[in-house]
Structure 1
Amino acid sequence: MIEESLTIDDEIRARARIHAREVIDDHDLALEFDALEWAVSGRARRRAGLCRWDADREVATIVLARRAYERYEWAEFAAGVRHELVHALQFQRTGESGHGERFLELAARLEAPRRCRSFTEPRYVLRCLADDCAWTATRHRASKPVKAPDRYRCGDCGDVLEVEHTDSGRTWNAASGYGGAKAALGKDW
C-alpha cells in the first residue's frame, strides 16, 4: 500500500472548500458548488485570491495564494475566500463580476472585504514629485510605469513620477534610471 502525503496546497483547498460550503449553507446562497473549482498559486505576491470564469464550461475557479495562507491568520484568509465566493456567485448569475454595487451588497452580507490586504511588502513605490500632491502607488513587479516612469504622469495632478526600489532606497524617474539602478544593484536587485 502506497501512502499518499498531503501538501499545504491540499490543506488550503480543503479548508477553503469547507468554509465555502458553510458560508453557502449559512447564507442560503444560490451558488452551484459543483460548478466551482479550487486552485492554489505559489507565485502570487500581492493578491490573496482571484476568481476566473470559464464561460464555455460555466465554471468558476477560485485561485488562492499559498503565501497569503501562510502569512494571514485564518480569519483574514477566510474573509478572502468569502470575497472570491462573491465573485463566483456573480459569474454564475450574470457571467460578469466586479467590485460595484451588487458586489458590495453581497460582500456586506457575507462579511467579505471589498479588497484584501496585500500580504507582502511592495518591491517598488511610485510617487508624484509635485510638492502639493501625496499620490503614491505600490508595485510588486517591474510594470511599465516602474521601468519607464517618464512616460507616465500622476493620475491626480498630472505631474512627473519617481520610482523607489524599496529594498535599496534607490530612486529614478526615467527608463535609464531603472536600467542604471538594476545594473548597480546586481544580485541585490
Structure 2
Amino acid sequence: MTTAEPTTREALLSRAADYAATVPIDLDVAELAWAISERARRRAGCCRYDPETGEITVVLTWDAYREFGWAEFRGTIRHELVHAWEFQQFGESGHGERFYRKADEIDAPRHCRSFTDGRLELVCTDEHCDWRPERHRASKPVRQPDAGYQCGDCGSEYVVRHRESGRTWRTTAGYERAREALGDDW
C-alpha cells in the first residue's frame, strides 16, 4: 500500500479499499463496492445497502477528501465501515447505540463534520435563542418556512437567510421572491 496522498478519484477508491482491509472490524471488506460522489455538499461519505441483493456500497465524497486530506478522511472511511458492518450483520444501519459501540471499538467518529458551509441558514427569531442550523439545499423548511416549521430548540418562528446575499424570508412567497431576485446567484 502506498503512503502518498491520492490525487485522483480512482486512487482514492483504491486507497480506501486497501485501508478498509486494515481496520479491525468483523466485516467482509472484499464484498464492498466503492464509489465517488460528486454531488454531496454536506456529507463526506455514505453507505448504501440493497436489501434485495445484499450489495453494500461505500460512497466517498471527493470534495470532502480534498478538504480534509487523507489523515482525517480515514475517519470517514471507518465511520462508513461501521454502517457496512451493521448492514452485513443486521440488514439495517443507523446512528444508534450499536453503531456507537462499534464506532468506539475502531476509533471511528460518531459523526463526520461537514466540509462546506451551508448556503442557507435557519435563524430563530427569539433574541435569546442561538439556534442557527445550516442548509445546503432548498429543503421544505427553506422553501416553506410558514408550513408549521419552528425553531428546533425553543419552538419559536424562524427566518431563512441566504448567507451570501443576506436576503431573508419567512414565507413561501418570500422564498419564491428571493429565489427569483437572486437568479444565478442562488
Q: Taking structure 2 as the reference length, what is the TM-score of the superposition?
A: 0.91
How do residues 52-91 of structure 1 correspond to structure 2 at under 5 angstroms?
Answer: 52-91=48-87
How do residues 62-141 of structure 1 correspond to structure 2 at under 5 angstroms?
Answer: 62-141=58-137
Equivalent position of 2:179 in the other structure: 182
- 1:91-115 Cα offsets, whole Å, 9 max, x none, are 1000011111111111111111111
Deviation at 1:42, TM superposition (A): 0.7
Deviation at 1:138, TM superposition (A): 1.1
Equivalent position of 1:162 in the other structure: 159
Given that residues 35 and 58 in structure 1 are in contact (C-alpha distance below 8 angstroms), is that contact kept between their aligned partners in structure 2? no
User: Does residue 13 in structure 1 map to residue 9 in structure 2?
Assistant: no
Deviation at 1:123, TM superposition (A): 0.7
CA RMSD of aligned residues (A): 1.3
Deviation at 1:156, TM superposition (A): 2.5
Question: Hey, which of these two has a bigger chunk of helix by percent?
Answer: 1
User: Does residue 33 in structure 1 map to residue 26 in structure 2?
Assistant: no
Unpaired runs of 5+ in structure 2? 1-6
Distance in 1 separating the partners of 2:152 and 2:74 = 33
What letter corresponds to residue 114 of structure 1 in structure 2?
Answer: R
State the secondary structure of the residue aligned to 1:68.
Answer: helix
Given that residues 150 and 161 in structure 1 are in contact (C-alpha distance below 8 angstroms), is that contact kept between their aligned partners in structure 2? no
Unpaired runs of 5+ in structure 1? 1-6
Distance in 2 separating the partners of 1:75 and 1:149 = 39
What letter corresponds to residue 125 of structure 2 in structure 1?
Answer: L
Equivalent position of 1:48 in the other structure: 44
Distance in 1 separating the partners of 2:176 and 2:80 = 38
What letter corresponds to residue 19 of structure 1 in structure 2?
Answer: Y
Runs of 4+ in 1 over 6 A off after TM superposition: none
Deviation at 1:186, TM superposition (A): 2.2
Deviation at 1:122, TM superposition (A): 0.3
Given that residues 38 and 63 in structure 1 are in contact (C-alpha distance below 8 angstroms), is that contact kept between their aligned partners in structure 2? yes
Given that residues 164 and 171 in structure 1 are in contact (C-alpha distance below 8 angstroms), is that contact kept between their aligned partners in structure 2? yes
Deviation at 1:62, TM superposition (A): 0.3
Given that residues 133 and 157 in structure 1 are in contact (C-alpha distance below 8 angstroms), is that contact kept between their aligned partners in structure 2? yes
What letter corresponds to residue 11 of structure 2 in structure 1?
Answer: E
State the secondary structure of the residue aligned to 1:126.
Answer: strand
Distance in 2 separating the partners of 1:76 and 1:164 = 31
Q: Taking structure 1 as the reference length, what is the TM-score of the superposition?
A: 0.90
Q: Give the count of matched residue pairs.
A: 179
Given that residues 46 and 119 in structure 1 are in contact (C-alpha distance below 8 angstroms), is that contact kept between their aligned partners in structure 2? yes
Distance in 1 separating the partners of 2:140 and 2:63 = 25
